[in-house]
Structure 1
Amino acid sequence: MSTHSTAPYTLRSLVLYFLKLGTVGFGGPVALVGYMHRDLVEERKWITEDDYKEGLALAQLAPGPLAAQLGIYIGFVHYRLVGATLAGLAFVLPSFLMVLALGAIYVHFQGISWMQAVFYGVGAAVIGIIAISAYKLTKKSIGKDYYLWFIYLVAAVTTVITEHENIWLFIGGGIFYWLVKSSSRLKQQAASAVPLLIPAMIQANTGGDANTGKLADIFLFFAKAGAFVFGSGLAIVPFLYGGVVKEYGWLNEQEFMDAVAVAMITPGPVVITVGFIGYLTAGFSGASVAAFATFFPCYLFTVIPAPYFKKYGKKPGIKAFVDGITAAAIGAIAGAVIVLGKRSIHDIPTALICLAVVALLLLVKKAQEPVIILVAALIGLLIKAYV
């Protein structure tokens, strides 16, 4: 890994780049990491191909939003902790400020019919987007591995039945697949544990936090969420639903769907929806605490192992553990589609909007999610105006 003395760019230039990317970087995590490769590796040649690949592998291995972690790692390459900290802040800050503004507008106009009409269409579109994301993630990550399919289906069914996301579901999936891949003897033991694993996963509970004040509860819950978001930022959606709606009751179901929609129409990481949720829950303080608590774990999971990742990151045991966790996370997303869909798809127009979004995303490879959300908002306005 290089040092700042050989960096072909200044720290100021890197911070300005991530400020710009965080301001106009639409398209979700896959698009964002693609922009970083195009801009920083191919065009500007600030980062080597090897450093980029190592950063991407670490971001996929560790919990946390993929694009944000890659940005933090890139900042670390030449400027260590200072670079990682400033790059991460610059990337997240623009979308955080945007969701704060949208939160203030939402609270102010919540009782007005046009605002409700906007989210009538948007909520249905979000279900379509999440459904396609779950389909693509399943197709890409699960493959034909029967053990991964088992973990995936248990997570999906558990999410549908309990309507609650569970940390131990992810950890259990990782340990189970690690046992499967370790040796033939352990594989037999893991197979014999299947009948015990299903009820244990379904009955497990994350448990509530002590009632030490709303901000303390917000911090503890979102820190827990940030520590167990693997892969796509959408993996956090079922986890947040279980805590924000079902456990704490900070938001109702419609407000939660609106929060997911806000994340879809803003640039930067999808996980920034936590800022909007925090604002609705406890104003500016709630937004700040929720965002810090969510992103700080992923910052630590990036900068602490970064110096050692070249040596240990490719070990089969670590990869198997992460593959198991990823299968559980994708299964939870698939289950969340059903749970959230029951709340947002409640009549023929919303069903048609959802199906149209699914068809569009399947047929048009370069369809932009923010554009889809905005069109759905207009359709919602028209339906409510004339129906």
Structure 2
Amino acid sequence: MSGAPRPVAFREALAFWLKLGFVSFGGPTGQIAMMHLELVDVRRWISERRFLHALNYCMLLPGPEATQLATYVGWLMHGTWGGIVAGALFVLPSLVLLIALSWVYMAFGDVPAVAAVLQGVKPAVVAIVAAAAWRIGQRTLRNAVLIAIAAAAFVALFVFDVAFPLIVLGAAVIGFVGGRIAPAAFALPSSHASASGTHEPAVIDDDTPTPAHAKYSGARFAALLAVGLILGGGTLALLAMAYGWNGDYTQMGWFFTKAALVTFGGAYAVLPYVVQGAVEQYGWLTGAQMIDGLALGESTPGPLIMIVAFVGFLGGWTKALLGPESLFVAGMLGAVVATFFTFLPSFLFILAGGPLVERTRDDAKLGAPLTAITAAVVGVVVNLAVYFAAQVFWPSGRIDAFAIVLAAAGLVALVRFRIGVVPVIAASALAGLLAWALRG
């Protein structure tokens, strides 16, 4: 067994987090796997036990777990600024790319060839969401009780249009009560259990003492909480002063703050809530545009929840919030507002709550509510797949057989052959372009 690696300089960590922000494709599973390979196996910056402990905490939180995991590891290594840098660099490359792609989408989306590509991509998105439901369901629905929770969540959304936060709350209550009545039905799976046995020593090893900055301090907790509330509340107040409380930018800030607090189960789980608000309530974009945005989000690095940048951009552009002569600036401001308010709570959860987690490792008291919420997420994602399928398979009241075939092929590629999301989107885009060319 080799000796422990040398301590990591802040500059070295910064370079790694920047690189990760540009190559973090593959959704949360791929991003977490990539971080595990780099941080645990290759660089040995953190032991597997400490890495999985951080991951378990991030999975209990609302928000993008991969982003929060990067923030947590960065914070554990280099304090508050280490966490801010790690989390910000995980998100910023994706924000810049999505602003650019959103501009291309709005400026050139009506060009026939571009429209044909987007038309081909839509069925792939249906397949991606359906595959996500299948993947989460296989991992989550381990018994009849959890299947019933998933079915109830689907019916609540599809039939009764229940607000997503109420579904999350209801599932959490069921899990809390059920975990006491029938704990075996709500037990967490063991897929994230810590590894045992000997391992290569790491900079932050199993027995490495908690660094001073990661030890709980009531004063530090209160200060960080105050800073977070001032940043969020102050920015929201400035938007309200500039555009009024009912102005779209202010409502974006308020809406995406609420969305950030109910994103249990990943981005696919919160998308129905975003559809309810951004499409149906505020009219920032259409359902068809939401599908296109999801395809763009899947094709760029960073967390999938970055689709909120696309939503914000289209809201600023389509409503010409800064006037018809400043559409790009209006869209860019919308993207920044949506991203800021979506991710601010995640930073607060890690920077303020991390010391409590380091002090109480392996506490599984929230396991049963999390299990129930994740089961409900399956029903929510199935509802999202049905919603998207209705938009794609039956446009203008007629069946689109070509879209159904493309979606079926994409689903087989994703589930049966485990082909990546980006190749599936690229192949579907090419099929749409070829179909347009042949019709021409």
TM-score for the superposition, normalised by structure 2: 0.78
Cα distance between partner residues in 2 of 1:250 and 1:182: 43
* Maintained 8 Å contact 1:66/1:233: no
Shift of 1:153: 0.9
Give the equivalent residue in structure 1 for 2:387: 339
Q: Matched residues, percent identical?
A: 30
User: What is the distance in 2 between the residues matched to 1:249 and 1:15?
Assistant: 39
Alignment partner of 1:103: what SS? helix
In 1: Cα distance, 2:148 partner to 2:245 partner: 37
Alignment of 1:119-268 (within 5 A): 119-144=118-143, 146-162=144-160, 165-183=163-181, 212-268=246-302
Shift of 1:313: 5.8
Instruction: Mark the runs of 5 or more structure 1 residues left unpaired by the alignment.
Output: 1-5, 188-208
What is the match of residue 271 of structure 1? 305
Residue deviations 1:78-110 (CA, integer Å, cap 9, x gap): 212111111001111111110000011111112
Change (3 A) 1:135 1:234: same
Spell out, residue by residue over 1:152-184, the C-alpha distance to the aligned partner (whole angstroms, 9 max, x if none). 111112222245652011011011111111247
Flag structure 2 segments of 5+ consecutive residues without an equivalent: 186-239, 317-330, 395-399
Residue identity in the other structure for 2:386: I
Give CA deviations for 1:39-85 in whole Å, capped at 9, x if unaligned: 11111111122221111101111111111011011111121211111
- C-alpha contact 2:164 2:270 (8 A) present in aligned 1: no
Quick one: distance in 2 between partners of 1:331 and 1:45? 39
SS for the counterpart of 1:317 is: coil
8 Å CA contact 1:63, 1:301 repeated in 2:
no
Tell me, what secondary structure is at the counterpart of 1:155? helix
Does the CA contact (< 8 Å) of 1:278 and 1:287 recur in 2?
yes
TM-score normalized with structure 1 length = 0.88
Shift of 1:321: 1.5
Contact map agreement 1:164 1:246 (CA 8 A) in 2: no
Alignment root-mean-square deviation, CA:
2.0
What is the CA-CA distance between 1:383 and the residue it aligns to?
Answer: 1.0
TM-superposed CA distance for 1:7, in Å, is: 7.2
Q: How many angstroms apart in 2 are the aligned matches of 1:106 and 1:38?
A: 35
Write the distance in 2 (CA, Å) between the matches of 1:299 and 1:151. Answer: 31
Note if contact 2:265-2:373 (Cα within 8 Å) is conserved in structure 1. Answer: no
Tell me, yes or no, if the aligned pair for 1:59 and 1:66 is still in contact at 8 Å: yes
Residues 261-283 of structure 1, C-alpha deviations (whole Å, 9 max, x = no match): 11011111111111111111111
Are 1:324 and 2:410 counterparts?
no
Tell me how far apart the structure 1 counterparts of residues 272 and 80 of structure 2 sit (CA, whole Å): 32
Contact kept, 8 Å, 1:58 with 1:302, in 2: the verdict is no
Matches within 5 A, 1:285-300: 285-300=333-348
Residue-pair matches, total? 358
Q: Given the alignment of the two structures, is residue 118 of structure 1 paired with residue 152 of structure 2, yes or no?
A: no
2: CA distance, partners of 1:170 / 1:63: 10
Alpha-carbon distance in 1 for matches of 2:267, 2:284: 21
The 1:361/1:271 distance shift into structure 2, 3 A limit, reads same
Q: Which runs of 4+ in 1 moved over 6 A?
A: none
Contact kept in structure 2, 1:126 and 1:260, CA below 8 Å: yes
Higher helix share: 1
Distance 2:130 2:343 in 1: 25
Counterpart of 1:99 in structure 2 is 98
